[in-house]
Structure 1
Amino acid sequence: MNWAEKYRPRHLSELIGNRESLRQISEWARNWTVDTPPLILYGKPGIGKTSSAYALANDMDWEVVELNASDQRTKGVIEKVAGGSASTGSLTGASRKLIILDEADNLQGNADRGGARAIADVIRQSKQPIILIANDLYGLDATIRNLCTKIQFKALPAKSLVPRLKEICSREEISCSIPALNEIAEQASGDIRSAVTMLYASAIGKDKVGEDDLSISSKDSRASIFDLVSATLGYRQVPSLLDLNFSVDETPDTVLQWVEGNLGVLPDRKKTAAAYQALSRADMYLGYTYKTQYYTLWRYANILMLYGVHDVLKGRNTSFAKIMPPSRWRLMSSAKRLKNLREQLLSDVGRTMHMSASTVRNFYLCPVSLLANTKPESFVRGYNLDADQLNILINDLDLAKNIVKTIDQERKQLEKELKKKKKEEEMLLKKQRKAIKINPSNEPAIQPVDNITHAHKKTDKSDSDTEISSEKEKKSSQSTLFNF
Structure 2
Amino acid sequence: MPTDWTEKYRPSSLSELRGNDSAVDDVREWAQTWDDHGEAAVLHGSPGIGKTSAAHALAADMGWETVELNASDQRTADDIERYAGRAADNATLGGASGSDDSGGRQLVIVDEADNVHGNYDRGGSRAITDLVKTARQPVVLIANDYYEMSRGLRNNTREIEFRDVSKRSIVPVLRDLCRKEGIEYESDALDRIAEQNDGDLRGAVNDLQAVAETADHLTVADVVTSDRDKTVDLFPFLDTVLKEGEDPAEVLRTSYDVDETPDDLAGWIEENLPKVYEGAELARAYDHLANADRWLGIVRATQDYSYWRYAGDNATAGVAAARDGTKGGWTRWNRPTFYHGSSNTADYVVRQIARHEGTSMATARREVLPFLAALTHHCKPREPTVQMAAAYDFEEEHVSFVTGSGETTNKVQSIVEDAAERRSELVEEHAGGAFAGQADASAVDDGTGDDATGGDETSGDATGDDDGSMSLAELGGGDDSETASTETGEDRGTGGSDAEAGEGDAADDAEEDEDQSGLTDFV
- After TM superposition, the score normalised by the length of structure 2 is 0.58
**Change beyond 3 A, Cα 1:122–1:310:** same
For residues 14 and 340 of structure 2, the distance between their equivalents in structure 1, rounded to whole angstroms, comes to 37
CA contact (8 A) 1:230 1:323 kept: no
For residues 55 and 203 of structure 2, the distance between their equivalents in structure 1, rounded to whole angstroms, comes to 19
Counterpart AA for 2:337:
S
Q: Which residue of the other structure, out of 129, 147, 168, is the alignment partner of 2:177?
A: 168
Counterpart for residue 306 of structure 1: 316
Q: Which residue of the other structure, out of 190, 193, 199, is the alignment partner of 1:190?
A: 199
Counterpart AA for 1:329:
Y
Once the two structures are TM-superposed, the CA of residue 200 in structure 1 deviates from its matched residue by 0.6
1:209 aligns with 2:247: no
CA contact (8 A) 2:150 2:343 kept: no
For residues 187 and 14 of structure 2, the distance between their equivalents in structure 1, rounded to whole angstroms, comes to 27
Counterpart for residue 248 of structure 1: 258
For residues 267 and 10 of structure 2, the distance between their equivalents in structure 1, rounded to whole angstroms, comes to 40
- After TM superposition, the score normalised by the length of structure 1 is 0.62
Once the two structures are TM-superposed, the CA of residue 168 in structure 1 deviates from its matched residue by 1.5
**Change beyond 3 A, Cα 1:116–1:262:** same
Deviations 1:340-395 (A, max 9, x none): xxxxxxxxxxxxxxxxxxxxxxxxxxxxxxxxxxxxxxxxxxxxxxx98xxxxxxx
Q: Which residue of the other structure, out of 234, 244, 261, is the alignment partner of 1:236?
A: 244
Counterpart AA for 1:192:
L
CA contact (8 A) 1:34 1:126 kept: no
Counterpart for residue 86 of structure 2: 84
For residues 40 and 97 of structure 1, the distance between their equivalents in structure 2, rounded to whole angstroms, comes to 16
Q: Which residue of the other structure, out of 140, 161, 177, is the alignment partner of 1:131?
A: 140
CA contact (8 A) 1:177 1:210 kept: yes
Counterpart for residue 305 of structure 2: 295
Deviations 1:157-185 (A, max 9, x none): 32232232222222222212222112212
For residues 49 and 277 of structure 2, the distance between their equivalents in structure 1, rounded to whole angstroms, comes to 36
Counterpart AA for 1:14:
E
SS at match of 1:212: helix
For residues 33 and 283 of structure 2, the distance between their equivalents in structure 1, rounded to whole angstroms, comes to 52
Counterpart AA for 2:216:
D
Bigger radius of gyration: 1
- Spell out the pairing of 1:69-148 with structure 2 (5 A cutoff): 69-88=71-90, 89-90=92-93, 93-94=96-97, 95-108=104-117, 111-148=120-157
| Corresponding residue pairs, total | 347
- Spell out the pairing of 1:432-443 with structure 2 (5 A cutoff): none
Counterpart for residue 282 of structure 1: 292
For residues 230 and 75 of structure 2, the distance between their equivalents in structure 1, rounded to whole angstroms, comes to 28
Counterpart AA for 1:74:
T
**Change beyond 3 A, Cα 1:232–1:175:** closer
Counterpart for residue 333 of structure 2: 323
CA contact (8 A) 1:17 1:156 kept: yes
Q: Percent identity, aligned pairs only?
A: 39
Once the two structures are TM-superposed, the CA of residue 218 in structure 1 deviates from its matched residue by 7.4
For residues 158 and 286 of structure 1, the distance between their equivalents in structure 2, rounded to whole angstroms, comes to 37
1:18 aligns with 2:20: yes
Counterpart for residue 165 of structure 2: 156
CA contact (8 A) 1:63 1:90 kept: no
CA contact (8 A) 2:84 2:108 kept: yes
SS at match of 1:328: coil
Which consecutive unaligned segments of at least 5 residues does structure 2 have? 98-103, 350-395, 398-406, 411-523
Which one is further off, 211-220 or 265-274? 265-274
**Change beyond 3 A, Cα 1:338–1:35:** farther
CA contact (8 A) 2:118 2:125 kept: no
**Change beyond 3 A, Cα 1:27–1:258:** closer
Counterpart for residue 31 of structure 2: 29
Deviations 1:188-207 (A, max 9, x none): 22322111111011111322
For residues 44 and 216 of structure 2, the distance between their equivalents in structure 1, rounded to whole angstroms, comes to 37
Q: Which residue of the other structure, out of 41, 44, 60, is the alignment partner of 1:42?
A: 44
SS at match of 1:197: helix
Counterpart for residue 380 of structure 2: none
SS at match of 1:329: coil
For residues 49 and 111 of structure 2, the distance between their equivalents in structure 1, rounded to whole angstroms, comes to 14
SS at match of 1:202: helix
Point out the structure with the larger helix share: 1
For residues 347 and 197 of structure 2, the distance between their equivalents in structure 1, rounded to whole angstroms, comes to 38
Alignment RMSD:
3.7
SS at match of 1:327: coil
SS at match of 1:71: coil
CA contact (8 A) 1:223 1:248 kept: yes
Which consecutive unaligned segments of at least 5 residues does structure 1 have? 340-386, 389-395, 400-484
Q: Which residue of the other structure, out of 253, 265, 268, is the alignment partner of 1:258?
A: 268
For residues 327 and 4 of structure 1, the distance between their equivalents in structure 2, rounded to whole angstroms, comes to 38
For residues 193 and 247 of structure 1, the distance between their equivalents in structure 2, rounded to whole angstroms, comes to 19
For residues 300 and 218 of structure 1, the distance between their equivalents in structure 2, rounded to whole angstroms, comes to 26
CA contact (8 A) 1:41 1:131 kept: yes
